[in-house]
Chain A
């Protein structure tokens, strides 16, 4: 099954597969497809746009786009990557339309942070309690540029390989690597600055 093959690569394609049915125009097939991706897709969109109502709107737009473009979907490609690339493009389009917002503006720590890494001293993230760590990281993630948030979310929350991320974001593998490195460094810097100010709620 195409959908099953996306989730379990060892499976075979059958005519009953929801994606095959959707390609044939059967909208009822969405009843089987939507629940499988609803949480991860919504979570990804929320990480991207950071507003629940907007994330829901983009979630719905993503599925509208899926129905429109399902005939162009190639079963050889993992459905998850295809779905997330549609969602990602819609989110980026929205962020681009927000004039005050730049999707790729490097933050003050975004570039060449490796050279600035502290040589000594304790790691402040280790010092905070575990439940606080998640909150601090989550807030710091929200302050990164969208192009950094997306690679971090795709890698660490969706568990995608670098190749899959390259496919979703539509950039070369080498760019994914450099972007992921910079995003992680930038996140670290944000957290360290915040913790050094003692600004922990």
Chain B
């Protein structure tokens, strides 16, 4: 690429005012002696100036009010989600704790053996399995109930 071609490639940036002063001086120096580059630089500057004076959009009426309302609504939704997650966690924890307490009580009462169909229900493995299933089922039911309640609240608000 010769000097003329390389300077032509620099014309858009020069017109956009996005060129360091030293490079701009080189471009302008060349444009003074090159009619084609001078004309293109002027043309591109016309475009650059025009882009700074485009018809401006009208800001929608109530944009700020609607934005703030949405922000508040989303924050409330997130707070409700956090509350739900906390409630479910506590529910699972409570379920585990009550399962453990019941297990200790039943073991103490039965002396560690409570067989039904040959299965010892107070054995650690069986009791843990049943407790886990009950805990997660409780949390699942609670999640569905809370979801339905939120749905109803949203419907009526």
Binding site for B on A (CB under 8 A): 27, 30-31, 34-35, 38-39, 42-43, 46, 52, 56, 59-60, 63-64, 67, 114, 117, 119-120, 123, 125-126, 133-135, 137-138, 141, 152, 155-157, 161-162, 177, 180-182, 184-185, 187-188, 191
Contact = CB atoms under 8 A, between A and B. Distances in A.
A46 B57 contact: yes
Which size class do B's interface residues fall under? 35 or more
B13 A156 contact: no
Contact of A63 (B40, B46, B67): B67
Contacts of B54: 134, 137-138, 141, 157
B66 interface: yes
26 contacts: A38-B59, A38-B63, A42-B60, A43-B56, A46-B57, A52-B57, A56-B60, A56-B66, A60-B71, A64-B71, A114-B11, A123-B42, A134-B54, A134-B55, A135-B55, A141-B54, A152-B51, A155-B16, A157-B52, A161-B18, A162-B18, A180-B16, A180-B18, A184-B44, A188-B44, A188-B47
A43 B63 CA distance: 13
B149 interface: no
Contact of A60 (B36, B52, B66): B66
Contact of B53 (A39, A117, A134, A152): A134
A52 B13 CA distance: 31
A34 B71 CA distance: 12
Report whether over half of chain A's contact residues are helix, strand or loop; otherwise say mixed: helix
B64 A138 contact: no
Contacts of A157: 51-52, 54
A157 B12 CA distance: 16
Identify the interface centre among B43, B54, B57: most chain A CB within 10 Å of its CB. Answer: B54
B71 A63 contact: yes
Given A59-B67, A137-B54, A156-B51, A184 B12 contact: yes
Contacts of B74: 64
B75 interface: yes
Given A34-B68, A59-B63, A181 B50 contact: no
B48 interface: yes
Contacts of A59: 63, 67
A177 B18 contact: yes
A125 B43 contact: yes
Contacts of A56: 60, 63, 66
Nearest to A28: B68
Nearest to A156: B51
Contacts of A152: 51
Nearest to A45: B57
A157 B13 CA distance: 16
B15 interface: yes
B70 to A, nearest CB: 5
